[in-house]
Amino acid sequence: MKRLISILLVLVLTVSLMAGCSKTAESKPNESTASAAASTQTEQTSEQTSEQTSEQTSAETTLGRDVPEEDWLPFTTTGEKLTIGLLRSTDVEDYDTNAFTKWLEETTGIDLEFVYFEGKADDAKTQLALMTASGEKLPDILWRFQLDSSLVNEYGNQGYFLPLNDLYETSGHYIWQALANKDSFSDAAIERLWSLSTDPESGNIYGVPNYFAPSPEDFNNFCFINQKWLDKLGLEMPTTVDELHDVLVAFRDQDPNGNGKSDEIPALGRQSTWMANICNYIINAFTYYSGDYYLSSKDGKVYAPFVTDEYREAMRYLNKLGKENLLSSLTFTASDYKEVGELDAPTDGNTVVGLWAGHPLVMCHDKEALFDYVPIAPLKDATGSGGYQTPVGQYWGWNSFITKDCENPELAFKFLDYFSSVDCIRFNSYGVEGEDYEIVDGKTASGEPAMIKRLTNLSKNSWILRGPQVLADIPETRIAYTDDGSWESRYEVLYANAGKAAKSAPVYDGMLYELPYNTEEQEVVNGCKTLITDFIKEGQAKFTTGEWDPNDDTQWQAYLDELEALGLSGWIDAAQTAYDRSAG
């Protein structure tokens, strides 16, 4: 697998060079699938011969990514048909007559027909399982299916999904162009992408990725502090856990909202809302902790941050905040984001929260009180192991597949590959140019070049959802900032400043995202991960509210013992094996 990853990485580097000097590819890695499937001496000999032939003829080879776009489209002139199986979006009125569908058919020459899966992602997964079990004919393409990597590989090894290794080489075009953007995708990120896509047992790649670089403002944990309160009380922006404690005490005791009531909530978050886990924000002052991926690595060894001495120190600090009524228990009991959102930024009346965590668009949309707050940077290191930001990792998901019943896999792959083109991304993301958006020479709120001015918020002219696309962070697809004094324009500045604040702290160099588990390892992880992560959240709540005492050695040991009983060692062992395999 490592050899295949290296080959694919070389291809990306080749495309990057071609962008500057228009050279043809120097190598054609057409042995990858054969290498993965080889099990006999005859096949091994055939592979060696293929490698030699490839080396001899590579200088004359022209692959799909080398061809000018005007010679690449349309993909067919005979009106060939592809059936697309997808989970129907309620925001799309009719896929057959949808403007994006019509544009795709006109541009690619393909006649598209749809097979609908109903319900949610798990429902579609069940329907697919029933189709394969009954021998029902599958659509040519499954578009945007949410399947974990081990299930993808299982379908592939059973023959339901086709291996795409060779098609990436011969028929890939737009994916390679996108991956050549080094500002968006580092070599390490690309290597990780292919590592996660490759079946560790067969070496095959069965899917086309949904892979994008996060915007500069995307982070897991955002916190906002009430600037009006800081100003009124003559307080500086807190930068350490000790300074934060003192500021929260002042928020609690000195009536910063000036209504003569002791109604202030010094700090508030929510465990189950995106970016709203205020505990994770605080924990990162003590030790790196993602809160999304849970495990980390150091010097090649996978470990669990939530059992370390530094994590215990974080629990002691949270316990102190809880005892002193500085962090509201609503953080752990609020059943709906609107319940805490109305406290964070009320529609009417004075603000009552000093510090809150969450995505501002989700928590406080259209509320003027949002602008009482400013973003607060990650807190400085408190233990020698903390002080980190928690960025959203470059997202990847292998969610689109070509099935065994597809009669023209090359055409199907070209169609999926086309979703990574700039034109396709614009149409599916923003709708019809001139109706839903226009091209401008602009900038984002953070000052980056941007070319998209939205005229509608949600276009009914597209398929709405991201499918198989590699999306680089480039001006051609960025939304431009419009300084018109509106709530939306002021919000964009606030959000851009939140990204700047988050980026003021370092990134931990041992972050672990998804790992390429094989079927056996995935079963281990599936059997314990949810139990463990639920218990971690329960522990944060109980340590903070005082139900558990993190200063009590017996209580801390009981916490560790329960994690072990839930299967933590097995999870770490599986993760270590997958990590070692992907690294070497």
> What pLDDT sits at residue 78?
95
Hey, how many other C-beta atoms are within 10 angstroms of the C-beta on 531?
Answer: 16
Per-residue pLDDT at 215: 57
Q: Residue 315's CB: how many other CB atoms inside 10 A?
A: 25
State the pLDDT at residue 16.
Answer: 47
Which band of pLDDT confidence, cut at 50, 70 and 90, is reported for residue 46?
very low
The beta strands (E) that lie in 403-518 are given as 437-443, 449-454, 470-471
Distance CA 202, CA 165 (A): 11
Instruction: Say what the pTM is.
Output: 0.81
Does the structure show a pLDDT above 50 at 455?
yes
pLDDT score of 20 more than 50: no
- pLDDT (mean) for 574-580: 94
Percent of the chain with pLDDT over 70: 86
Kindly state the average pLDDT of the residues 488-499. Answer: 92
Strands 353-357 and 81-87, by their bridges, are: unpaired
pLDDT exceeds 70 at position 287: yes
Look at 138-147, 364-373, 442-451, 507-516 and tell me which has the smallest mean pLDDT. 507-516
Q: What is the pLDDT at residue 29?
A: 32
* Alpha carbons 503 and 462: distance in angstroms, whole number: 33
Residues 466, 211 contacting (CB under 8 angstroms): no
Going from the C-alpha of 89 to that of each of 85, 128, 130, 463, the distances in angstroms are 12, 17, 21, 8
Tell me: pLDDT of 38 over 80: no
Per-residue confidence (pLDDT) for residue 584, from 0 to 100: 63
pLDDT band of 189, cuts 50, 70, 90: confident
pLDDT at 31 over 60: no
So what's the pLDDT on residue 511?
84
pLDDT bucket at 519, cuts 50 / 70 / 90: confident
pLDDT for 188: 77
Q: Supply the pLDDT for residue 61.
A: 42
| pLDDT bucket at 517, cuts 50 / 70 / 90 | confident
pLDDT of residue 462: 93
User: What confidence score (pLDDT) does residue 7 get?
Assistant: 43
Mean pLDDT taken over the chain: 86
Of the candidates 377, 389, 322, the residue with the CA atom closest to the CA atom of residue 498 = 377
111-117: strand order across its sheet: 111-117, 81-87, 141-143, 395-402, 208-212, 470-471
Of 415, 404, 408, nearest in space to 161 by CA = 404
